[in-house]
Structure 1
Amino acid sequence: MDIFLDSLQFYTPVFNNILLFIGAEYFNNGYFLGFFLQCLAKKVDQILPLDDKNMNKEESNRKKNHFLYTIPLFLAVISDTLQMFYVINKVTSSGSQLSALNCFLLISSAGLTLGNTVNVSHELIHRLTTLEQAVGFLNFVRVMYCHYPIFHLLWHHKHVGTDKDPIVAKKDETLYQYLPRQLWGNYAVSWKCENERLIQQEKTSFPQFHYKNRMIYNTLLQLAFPLLMLVTYGRKGLYYYLWMVFVAVIEAEIVEYLEHYGLFVTKDNKVSYDCAWNSPQRYTNISSFKLERHADHHVNAYKEYQISSFDYSWPQLPESYLFMIQVSMQPKLWFSIMNPRLESFFAKKEVSKEHQEFEKKTLDNFYKQQILTHSIILLISFLF
């Protein structure tokens, strides 16, 4: 019974989908979920106790590989897939009562939930059963990111914390410099991984044209969903779908920017707990299936999310991943918060009290600005 009750918290992504549906269906508003994620989720994180406790060995053994923790992963993919078709149908229907503004906001909000299921796929491709890996891969097809498993499993986990890994953002590298470099980098590296695999296994001189090259099929598969949307919903549906995917992929890449920012920590490929930033905010952590315990994930790559560990001695963000996404979009603000933390980490010192006070004041003011901005957007979405 305790495992069943504990697993219920991980149905949070389904709650997000329901919130989006209620806003669109009963209030003709596309920004219910967007406003919640951008503003109210931080309040929920502040109200809930921190997620900083670890299981003992006995409890970990009981919960390891338990199917009740796999069901929320599958359900998150299923509910978000249904939501995708619901939203595309809603905004392309001739009888839709949504304004053009609310159509755009609804698609953008759906893109945020789709971005979160990228993380669900990430969890599933690390699992050991064929079914779980297949569901994870098929969800990457939906978001036109089929090459990600190759890059992530064969390169990122091998080279994290080194300058070989395009995911690790350099100190003082802005998000806007990082995104094009990383987006192209992980696609190009995926081809490199496949070419090297085929040269070794098949002894071929032209691996990029070999029939066993998975990147050929992955690249073609990434056209499957756009074609489906075009045939089913026409060009308008295709454009809305592409925008949804764009939002999802950018959200996922921003998360990778903040996960490893500046943490070039090894030259010998020995993965340590120092390779990733972590955070104990509970709501964001359970809604992302413990993604904020990212250091433990890299050291123990096949450890299920429900038994992952946390430690305050590992690199720590001042706020949740969800909130720091917004901070990272303002480079000067991001650098003012993160660079002193990065310097303290490499100096093996605690973050100074002065900087902690600066962070609190600065982030509180930023949060107030965010509330004002998104409240105005929500109000406009009701008026127009």
Structure 2
Amino acid sequence: MSKYLKGWMMPGLSVLFIWAVSHGGWWMWSPFLFAITVFLAADMFMPRDTSEPPKVQIRWLLNLPLYTILPLLAVLNFLVMWMFSSTDVLGFGAWVQQHLNVDLFAARAATDHWGMWAGCIVSVGLMNAVGGTVTGHELTHRTGKPFDLFMGRWMLAFTCDTSFAIEHVYGHHVRVATPEDPATARRGESFYQFTVRSTIVSYVHAYQVEKARLAKLGKSVWNPLASPFLRGNLENLCMFLVAYLMAGWAGVGFWALLAFVGKQYLEITNYFEHYGLVRVPGQPVQPRHSWNSNHWGSTNVLYSLARHSHHHAEGEAPYWTLYAYPTAPMLPAGYLSMLLIALVPPLFKKMMTPALNDWDEKHATPAERKLAQQASANSGMRGLKIVNAKLA
């Protein structure tokens, strides 16, 4: 039963975010601070979750919390844009006051400092990422299920990143841990270098993948009836259109900030999930080509995303079937900790240097050790050992 309840942590977190934002003012910071406190505490003080997947799997109970995220994100983001606007869009504020006894007008009036809006952007961007992108990631891997793909791609639109559904599944999972993969961070590369390269090249790759696929069918990538790439971009534009209708051009700029921050949370996660790992192109993807984490909060709140080694070994496996893989390469900290640490390049490199040395010695094949030697030599990172490539 606990496995079914854990799936509701993300929807529960979404409701808390909505509640906090509805109070306006400095409450805008509370979702971000709450998430940091709870995540870090769970990862630091709870035992590692190495539990096996449940033998009895009632699939619809495990899927239901995933499907609730899209309407919850819609409510959260509509609320935020309503707060940012200067009118009672669709009579929303009056309806909430009458039926829920919550005074959104007072909350909007109390949000009168740029620092409060900064808290809103950081907090809602976080929810759009951990709710929208993590859940969208789970659903867009289900390539044979149109409903799941539809839900997942709209979730990704909250970070203006619908192309992720194409590049991640058909690009990243094929090229992971090779130089051809923009979402694999190189040794010595800072997050700030990585996010520019990953964002731009991943988008271009998604376009190229979809263009080549449709060309084989005699169709154009610019045909919205045939091209998920174009439909995704139209979904992104729909978000900006709603922002404009609610709050004018200022609303468009505000929404761009929200989407940008949400996207950066994803790119930080991409950054540390495969940082510095190498693979011989064309060789099978193995659990060793991803950094794993069995920290309790990272595993259970994020729909087992932290069990990344199994995810890459079996990309379409539902989140509740993923194993802990305790012998896989492990991150030195949980996901939220790594997210914060990655923002400080010297600290991140210091933490990852012994992890990379351990990977080179214990996990890499002889052929991968040769690649690792070259990567370490080019990284400029102090402390990386040059492991003998002939070691078995």
The interval holding the TM-score normalised by the smaller chain is 0.7 to 0.9
Q: Report the Cα distance in structure 2 between the residues aligned to 1:163 and 1:243, rounded to whole angstroms.
A: 30
Matches within 5 A, 1:102-121: 102-116=116-130, 117-121=132-136
* Per-residue Cα deviation, 1:149-207 (whole angstroms, up to 9, x for no partner): 111121111111222111111000010110110000101111111222233332x8xx5
- Corresponding residue for residue 377 of structure 2: none
Residues 233 and 287 of structure 1, relative CA distance in 2, 3 Å threshold = same
Q: Report the Cα distance in structure 2 between the residues aligned to 1:18 and 1:222, rounded to whole angstroms.
A: 24
Deviation at 1:305, TM superposition (A): 0.3
Q: Does structure 1 residue 323 correspond to structure 2 residue 349?
A: no
1:126–1:301 Cα contact (<8 Å) kept: yes
Which amino acid counterpart does residue 272 of structure 2 have in structure 1? L
- Corresponding residue for residue 204 of structure 2: 188
**Structure 2 counterpart of 1:153, from 148, 156, 169:** 169
1:19–1:32 Cα contact (<8 Å) kept: no
Q: Does structure 1 residue 39 correspond to structure 2 residue 53?
A: no
Deviation at 1:262, TM superposition (A): 0.8
Deviation at 1:130, TM superposition (A): 1.8
Q: Report the Cα distance in structure 2 between the residues aligned to 1:37 and 1:168, rounded to whole angstroms.
A: 26
Greater shift in the superposed pair: 80-89 or 92-101? 92-101
1:77–1:120 Cα contact (<8 Å) kept: no
- Corresponding residue for residue 217 of structure 2: 201
Deviation at 1:282, TM superposition (A): 1.1
Matches within 5 A, 1:352-363: none
Q: Report the Cα distance in structure 2 between the residues aligned to 1:32 and 1:349, rounded to whole angstroms.
A: 41
Residues 81 and 209 of structure 1, relative CA distance in 2, 3 Å threshold = closer
Q: Report the Cα distance in structure 1 between the residues aligned to 2:233 and 2:146, rounded to whole angstroms.
A: 22
Matches within 5 A, 1:362-373: none
- Corresponding residue for residue 146 of structure 2: 130
- Corresponding residue for residue 81 of structure 2: 88
Q: Report the Cα distance in structure 2 between the residues aligned to 1:302 and 1:349, rounded to whole angstroms.
A: 24
**Structure 2 counterpart of 1:332, from 336, 346, 356:** 346
2:128–2:158 Cα contact (<8 Å) kept: no
Which amino acid counterpart does residue 45 of structure 1 have in structure 2? D
- Corresponding residue for residue 54 of structure 1: 52
Gaps of 5+ in 1: 351-384
Q: Report the Cα distance in structure 1 between the residues aligned to 2:162 and 2:21, rounded to whole angstroms.
A: 30
TM-score (ref. length: structure 2)? 0.81
Q: Report the Cα distance in structure 1 between the residues aligned to 2:209 and 2:3, rounded to whole angstroms.
A: 39
Q: Report the Cα distance in structure 2 between the residues aligned to 1:218 and 1:183, rounded to whole angstroms.
A: 16
- Corresponding residue for residue 20 of structure 1: 17
**Structure 2 counterpart of 1:99, from 102, 112, 115:** 112
* Per-residue Cα deviation, 1:53-81 (whole angstroms, up to 9, x for no partner): 223xxx44x22x61111111111222122
Gaps of 5+ in 2: 88-104, 365-392
TM-score (ref. length: structure 1)? 0.82
Deviation at 1:337, TM superposition (A): 0.6
- Corresponding residue for residue 286 of structure 2: 272
Q: Report the Cα distance in structure 2 between the residues aligned to 1:92 and 1:231, rounded to whole angstroms.
A: 10
Q: Report the Cα distance in structure 1 between the residues aligned to 2:227 and 2:141, rounded to whole angstroms.
A: 21
Residues 221 and 23 of structure 1, relative CA distance in 2, 3 Å threshold = closer
- Corresponding residue for residue 215 of structure 1: 229
Residues 346 and 77 of structure 1, relative CA distance in 2, 3 Å threshold = same
Deviation at 1:27, TM superposition (A): 7.0
Deviation at 1:234, TM superposition (A): 1.9
- Corresponding residue for residue 361 of structure 2: 347
Which amino acid counterpart does residue 179 of structure 2 have in structure 1? D
Tell me: higher relative CO, structure 1 or 2? Use CA pairs within 8 A at least 6 residues apart: 1
- Corresponding residue for residue 70 of structure 1: 63
Deviation at 1:38, TM superposition (A): 2.7
Residues 171 and 99 of structure 1, relative CA distance in 2, 3 Å threshold = same
- Corresponding residue for residue 292 of structure 1: 306
Deviation at 1:45, TM superposition (A): 2.5
Greater shift in the superposed pair: 286-295 or 227-236? 227-236
Deviation at 1:107, TM superposition (A): 2.5
- Corresponding residue for residue 306 of structure 1: 320
2:273–2:290 Cα contact (<8 Å) kept: yes
Q: Does structure 1 residue 6 correspond to structure 2 residue 3?
A: yes
Greater shift in the superposed pair: 171-180 or 136-145? 136-145
Q: Does structure 1 residue 229 correspond to structure 2 residue 243?
A: yes
Q: Report the Cα distance in structure 1 between the residues aligned to 2:73 and 2:222, rounded to whole angstroms.
A: 35
Residues 217 and 17 of structure 1, relative CA distance in 2, 3 Å threshold = closer
Aligned residues: 339
* Per-residue Cα deviation, 1:1-32 (whole angstroms, up to 9, x for no partner): x3xx4211222222322333343334741111
Q: Report the Cα distance in structure 2 between the residues aligned to 1:217 and 1:132, rounded to whole angstroms.
A: 15
2:122–2:261 Cα contact (<8 Å) kept: yes
Residues 9 and 228 of structure 1, relative CA distance in 2, 3 Å threshold = same
Deviation at 1:111, TM superposition (A): 0.7
- Corresponding residue for residue 102 of structure 2: none
SS of equivalent to 1:170? coil
2:14–2:72 Cα contact (<8 Å) kept: yes
Residues 274 and 229 of structure 1, relative CA distance in 2, 3 Å threshold = same
